[in-house]
Amino acid sequence: MTAPDLTNLCVALSDDARVREMLNEVCAVTGMGFAAVAHVTHHRWIACQVEDRISFGLNPGDELKIHETICDEIRDHGEAVVIDDASDDIKWSRHPVPVIYGFKSYCSFPVYLDDGSFFGTLCAIDHAPRKVSDEEIVAMFTDFAKQLGHILTERLQSLPEQPIAGGSPHER
């Protein structure tokens, strides 16, 4: 049995102009300074493509500790997380992740491949509060996450198959 190499998919996405355009638009519309598409598994968070206007310091291929991300929680529950101001939100003001990375505003939407399997997230952060819960912004993120799923599926179908070394191919 063979499976696609999703790490190679992350590398392939790092230069995709459609993804770059989406990340630029996310930053322009929301005022947030960092946006990324990340591949998220039970064990890894890998940046596939980033737009970094605030010197957050992540580049495509870089990894974060999975348990120090909200994307880890999104992988578990499959729901978007939208935070206008973490310091002014009862749930998020005590959550360790905003403190670790020093952000106030945060958006992260799950990205699913066309077969329904979870790939990762479209996420954005900023050090300042931003009104990202606005209906139009949520709709934009929702639409972009769907488009990303289609782009990822298209790119995935063009990658060579790799032998499965145990576990689900979506857990690499």
Distance CA 163, CA 46 (A): 21
Q: Which domain holds residue 53?
A: 2-158
Residue 171 lies in a domain: no
Residue 163 lies in a domain: no
Residue with tokens 């998919």: 9
Q: Is the pLDDT of residue 34 over 90?
A: yes
* Across 20-24, 30-34, 81-85, least confident range: 81-85
* DSSP state string for 4-64: E-HHHHHHHHTT-HHHHHHHHHHHHHH--SEEEEEEE-SS-EEEEEEEESS-----TT-EE
Question: What pLDDT does residue 67 have?
Answer: 67
141 CB burial (10 A radius; 0-12, 13-18, 19+): buried
Residue 114 lies in a domain: yes
Over residues 49-100, the pLDDT tens digits come to 999 998 888 888 887 776 666 666 677 788 888 989 887 877 666 665 656 6
**Is residue 43 within 8 Å of residue 171, measured between CB atoms?**
yes
Q: Is the pLDDT of residue 8 over 70?
A: no
Beta-sheet pairing, 45-52 with 2-4: unpaired
**Mean per-residue pLDDT over the chain, rounded:** 81
Question: What pLDDT does residue 12 have?
Answer: 66
Q: Kindly report the CATH number assigned to the domain that includes residue 26.
A: 3.30.450.40
Number of folded domains that form the chain: 1
Amino acid 139 reads A
Rg, the chain, Cα only: 15
Nearest to 89 by CA among 132, 35, 54: 132
Residue 172 lies in a domain: no
Question: What pLDDT does residue 53 have?
Answer: 95
Question: What pLDDT does residue 121 have?
Answer: 92
Amino acid 2 reads T
Question: What pLDDT does residue 11 have?
Answer: 66
Residue 119 lies in a domain: yes
Over residues 119-158, the pLDDT tens digits come to 999 999 998 999 999 999 999 999 999 999 999 888 877 7
